[in-house]
Structure 1
C-alpha cells in the first residue's frame, strides 16, 4: 500500500450490526465525502486501490469491514475507532438481517447457507466466520489499544463524547439498516427468554462477551474520571452524571449472567493465590516510584536504588522461591515473580522482601555494579522456563539507556554453597540475537551482587497466566523482525503440518504409544519435527509457516513465546493431568488450540528414579479419545488407526523406558521401575481377563499383555456383529438399511432378513431359504411383514440418518425382540458439527465451508442414545470406540435417572451437547469391556 503523501487520521472498524453505517454517514458529514474511503467486501474492495491512489492526499478516514491490523501497520499514528454491541443482541440482529436479504443479492457463502437452509440461530452462531466476530475484527486487542470504543446501545451519548474529544462540528444522526424482519422484536424476546440457548451462545462467543464487558467497564471509569475533572463546569458534570445513570440502567437490563461474570472478575483481581486480599500497595503503582524512566511506559517500570540481587533457590515442597532482587515492601504485585494457580489467578512465588535485618555489608566491592540495569528475571537454563519466564521483561531494554540485563541464577543448591561463574546455554545467545540484544550485556548473578540503579519491568507474559494485551505491539514488532530474519529460509516452506513428539527423549518425559500415532500422522503429510536438529532461526522458519501443529506436552512449543499471532491450528497431547492450565499463552496466539482428548484421560505411571516427576512416562487411559478429538477438529483423518497396534507400541515403549531408566540408575535400585509396571498392569487390567475365566493371564518377561483372541476382526461393522453373535450363539438376524449389502452378506448367522427400500446389489446371488431380502421401507416392513417372523436375536439399525426415523425403527423393533435380543445402532458418534446435521445437503455445505476432508455423514442419530437413556431403563447400552456404534441389550440400569425427560428436548439437542456429554451418556468404552458386560449379564439371566 503506497502511503506517500497520505494524511490519514482515523481507522474506523465496522463490526457488522453495530451502527457502523450510521457512523460512516457521520464521518462523511464531518470530514466530507471525498475524505472518507470505505473498504467493504465485494465491489467496494475491488475499487479500493484505484480510489486510494486517486485521492489518498484527501483521505482522512478508512472505514469498513476489516481487521484493525490491516491498516494499522501502514498508519501507526492514526486513531483506531470501533463500535461494539452486546454480543448476543448483535448475533441475533445479524442472523435476522441476513435472513431478510433476497437470495440473488447474496455473495457471502455463510449467508447463502443460512438463507437456503434456514439454519437455526445456534447453528449460525457456530459458523467459523460468525463465532466471536467482534474479537476477530478487532484482532483480539484490549479496549485500551483503541482511541475510542463506542457502545452501540449508547450511540448518541458516546457519539457526542467522541465529537467533544475530536472537536467536531455539528452533524445529523441518521440510523440505517434497521432490522425489518417480520416480528423481529417479538422474536428477540422469545430468544432471550430461553436461558439454555443464551448460555450456549455466550459460551460460543465468550471472547466477545469478555471484550464487551471490558468496554463497558472502561466507559464507566472514563465518565467517572470526567466527572472529577475540575475543568468541567457544572453543566458538563450533570451531563456526565446523567450518562452514568443511563449506563447503570442499561447494565441492569443486560442478562444476569454477564453481570455475575463481571463480579467474579472484579473479585479475582483483588485476591492473591491463597485467596487472601492483597495489600493496597499491590493494587497500584507505588507513589514512591517518582523516577520517570520511560515516558510512555513509566507505569510498567519500577526502580530500586542500590538493589541487592541474590541467586534463587527453590523450596520444592512449598513451591516458593528465595532470592532474586530484595524488594521494598511496597512494590506492586505486577513486578514480582508470579505464576498462575489452578484457577488461573496470580500466585506470588517469591518471598524476598526488605527488612531491618537486610545487610549489604556482605557485598563484595567487585560485585557492585555502577550504572542502570534492567532486571530480566530468574534463569535456570531450562528451555521452556527461560522462554516463558526469563525473556518477557526484556521489552524495556535498549542499549542507549541501560548498561545491561541482570538475571538471578536459579539453583537447587542452598545459598550457603558457592556456585562457580554461570555460563548460559548456547541456545540462549540465539534467542538474544533474534531479540536484537547483545549477549555481552547479560549479567548472571550466581551468588550476590548490588546494582546502583535496577529497573524492574512488568512481565509482558507470565507462566500459566498468559500474554497481556499491552505487550502485543512489542511482540508484533519482534515477529516482523523474525519474518525478516527468516525470509530466505521460508521460501520453500509452505502450508506445513508439524508433529512435535517426545518419543526420541523418553527419559525426559514421554507418552507411551506415541510412535504409532506419529507414524500415522507422517503418512498424512505431517513432518516429524525434532527442534534439536535445527538452529534457532530454522526452527522459527518452520513454526511461522505451519498451518497445523500437533505436539506432545513439553518445551518444544515454547518458541511461540516470541510470536504475537499465527494463523495456525494447534493440538496438545497431554502427559500430565493438570494440563489445561499449562498453555494459556498459546490460546490467544493461534487460530485454534485444543487439548486432544480429555486431560483426565492422562495417567502418569511415574518415573524410573522417583515416585513422581516431570521426566516420567504416561499413558492415555482411553487412546481413542485423542484420536476422535484430532479427527473432530480436522487435524487428521487417521483412517488407519487401530487401537491394538497402539497398545502394542505402548507396551514396547514402557519396557524400553524401564530398561533405559534402569541402566541410567547409579544404585541399580529397581523399586520405581517395578512400580511403573504394577501401575500399568492395574490400568490395563480389563484387557488381561481371559474369555472363560476371571484369572489374569500369566505374564512373560516382555510384558505380553494381549488376551486370547477368537480371530474375529472387531474393527469392521460385520466383525463387531459376528463377535456379538458369538457371545450367545445367536441364530436370527435383522438388518434395517442394507444398501450394498457389504455388512449383511458378511454376517455369519443362519437366518437373516434384509430390509431396504432400494438394494444396490444383486440380491438374487445371496438369497436362500434362510436369507430373505425385502425391498420396502422400514415403516412398511414393521407394518406388514414383521409379524410373520419369530423374534430376532440380533437387530442392526443402519437406515436413514435421522433421529426420528432411527428412533421409530428402534421402538418398532421391540415387538420383534425377546429378552436376549441385542441391538447395534450405527452412526451414533458424529465426528464434527457438519456430520451431525440431519440433512445430507446441509452436511455437505458445511463441510465445504469448513474445509472438512472427512466426507462422513452420521446425521443426528446420536439423539437415539439420549432417548434410550431417558425412556428405556430396562435396557443397558454402550458405545464402541472407533466408528461410533452403540450396542443395546436387555439389562435393567440400576443408576437410571432421566436427564431431559422430554422427547421434544432431546430432538433439539445439538452437536455441542454430544461433545459435552462424551464423558457420560456418549462415553466410548473398550471393545472387550463391552463384550464382557454383555457376556456377564447373559450368564446371570
Structure 2
C-alpha cells in the first residue's frame, strides 16, 4: 500500500497530476533537508527523502500512484552542503531513462542560472551499478546542449544534508505526458540545440530507420532487419545513435522528414524538443504503446504504431525470463508491412524471406544456453 503525500487521497493524487493549461510550474524550497539514494524494488523507487520531509514536487508521479516510496526511517546524514542547490531527481546510467526521468526539473536552472551552487541527483544504486557511483559520461554534454550553465553535479549515494534545496515540479511525467506550462522551456531547449547543431544542416538523411539488431541483448523485434532492408528501397538510412555524438543525434531528428524506429531509447532525445517535423512510425516491442504515444503525439505531425497489441508476442530474454529485455515477434508480419506500404514505395512483401530473416535475427540474439535458443525457436514456430 502506497502512502500518498501529505493529505492526498488516491483521487486527489490523480487529479493533482492532470495539469491545467494555465497552471505554472512551481518550485518548493526545503531548509536543512536530507537527501538519500534510491533503490529500485518491485517497480518502485525506494528512498530519495524520508516520509517526514518529502514535498510534493519531490515525488515521482505515476499514472495511478506515485512511483516512489519515501523512507519510513531516516538515517543521519554523512555529508553536509552549505548554500542553495537544485534537486533534479533520480539518476542512473541508462540513456533513455535519463531523458525520460531525470532532466525535467532542470527548467528552473534556465529561470535562475546564477541562483544555485550545484545540481543534486539521487543515485539509483541497483540499476546498472558501478564500483564507483558517478554521473553518466554523456550528461555534461547533454546539459551543454540544453544551454544550462556549467554547475557542479552531486550524485547522492549516502545520506546528505542540504542547507537549502529547491525542488522544481516535473515538466514532463513518465506515462502522463507534458505539462503545457513546460512547453516554453522545451522551446528554449530546442532553439539552443538547433543553434548548436546548425553545422550539420543538410548533412543528415531525410528518412531514418532506427533499429535494434545491434542491441538484441537488451531486447528487440525479431524480423526487424527485414523491414530495415525493405525500407532502404524507399531511401531510408539506418542509424545507430550510440555511434554518433549527441549533437549529431539531435541533428538527425531535427532535420528528418520520416522516421521509422524500433521501440526503444533511440527516439527519447525528442524529450528535450517541443516539436519534430518528421512523421514517426514505431515497430512496437510491447503490446501497449502508451508511453511512446504520450511522448510523441504532442510533438509530431503524425505518429503511427505499426502493429496492434494482439499482433505483438514476446520471447524470453537472454536469461530465459520475461522482462523489459524480452525479444518480440509479430504473429502476422504482413499486416505490419502493409502499414509501411501505405506510406512508402516498397517491394512486394516476401513472406518466405521475412521468416528466414526472423530466424537469422533469433540466432544472433544472445541466450544463456542452447536450450533457451531452441525454446525460443519452438515458440516462434507455433505461429509459423
The structure-2 alpha-carbon separation of the partners of 1:329 and 1:363, relative to structure 1 and needing over 3 Å to count, comes to closer
Check if 1:352 corresponds to 2:70.
yes
Say whether the 8 Å CA contact 1:607–1:672 is kept in structure 2: no
Where do residues 475-874 of structure 1 align in structure 2 (5 Å cutoff)? 475-493=186-204, 496-632=206-342, 634=343, 636-657=344-365, 660-662=366-368, 669-684=369-384
More helix by share: 1
The structure-2 alpha-carbon separation of the partners of 1:671 and 1:303, relative to structure 1 and needing over 3 Å to count, comes to farther
Say whether the 8 Å CA contact 2:83–2:117 is kept in structure 1: yes
Cα shift readout 1:103-125 (whole Å, capped 9, x = no counterpart)? xxxxxxxxxxxxxxxxxxxxxxx
Q: Offset at 1:281?
A: 8.7
Check if 1:387 corresponds to 2:99.
yes
CA distance in 1, matches of 2:223, 2:132: 42
CA distance in 2, matches of 1:483, 1:606: 41
Residue equivalent to 1:378: 90
Cα shift readout 1:30-58 (whole Å, capped 9, x = no counterpart)? xxxxxxxxxxxxxxxxxxxxxxxxxxxxx
Say whether the 8 Å CA contact 2:122–2:156 is kept in structure 1: yes
Q: Offset at 1:335?
A: 4.3
Say whether the 8 Å CA contact 1:419–1:446 is kept in structure 2: no
Check if 1:314 corresponds to 2:40.
yes
Say whether the 8 Å CA contact 2:58–2:89 is kept in structure 1: no
CA distance in 1, matches of 2:163, 2:370: 53
Say whether the 8 Å CA contact 2:25–2:182 is kept in structure 1: no
SS state at 2:29 partner: strand
Residue equivalent to 1:304: 30
Q: Offset at 1:380?
A: 1.2
Q: Offset at 1:493?
A: 4.0
The structure-2 alpha-carbon separation of the partners of 1:439 and 1:422, relative to structure 1 and needing over 3 Å to count, comes to farther
Q: Offset at 1:579?
A: 2.5
Residue equivalent to 1:36: none
Say whether the 8 Å CA contact 2:37–2:158 is kept in structure 1: yes
CA distance in 2, matches of 1:279, 1:358: 28
Residue equivalent to 1:422: 133
- Which of residues 182, 192, 195 in structure 2 aligns to 1:471? 182
CA distance in 1, matches of 2:80, 2:180: 36
Say whether the 8 Å CA contact 1:561–1:585 is kept in structure 2: yes
Say whether the 8 Å CA contact 2:174–2:291 is kept in structure 1: no
SS state at 2:380 partner: helix
TM-score when normalising by structure 2: 0.89
TM-score when normalising by structure 1: 0.38
Q: Offset at 1:390?
A: 0.2
Q: Offset at 1:279?
A: 7.6
CA distance in 2, matches of 1:613, 1:406: 30
SS state at 2:138 partner: helix
CA distance in 2, matches of 1:426, 1:394: 18
Between 1:466-475 and 1:638-647, the stretch displaced more is 638-647
CA distance in 1, matches of 2:26, 2:165: 14
The structure-2 alpha-carbon separation of the partners of 1:383 and 1:639, relative to structure 1 and needing over 3 Å to count, comes to same
Q: List alignment gaps of at least 5 residues for structure 1.
A: 1-271, 286-295, 341-345, 663-668, 685-941
Cα shift readout 1:139-197 (whole Å, capped 9, x = no counterpart)? xxxxxxxxxxxxxxxxxxxxxxxxxxxxxxxxxxxxxxxxxxxxxxxxxxxxxxxxxxx
Say whether the 8 Å CA contact 2:147–2:189 is kept in structure 1: no
Residue equivalent to 2:126: 412
SS state at 1:456 partner: strand
Check if 1:338 corresponds to 2:338.
no
Residue equivalent to 2:168: 457
SS state at 1:683 partner: coil
SS state at 1:455 partner: strand
More strand by share: 2
Q: Offset at 1:419?
A: 7.8
CA distance in 1, matches of 2:12, 2:329: 46
Q: List alignment gaps of at least 5 residues for structure 2.
A: none
SS state at 1:402 partner: coil
CA distance in 1, matches of 2:48, 2:9: 24
Q: Offset at 1:671?
A: 4.7
CA distance in 2, matches of 1:395, 1:370: 22
Say whether the 8 Å CA contact 2:189–2:273 is kept in structure 1: yes
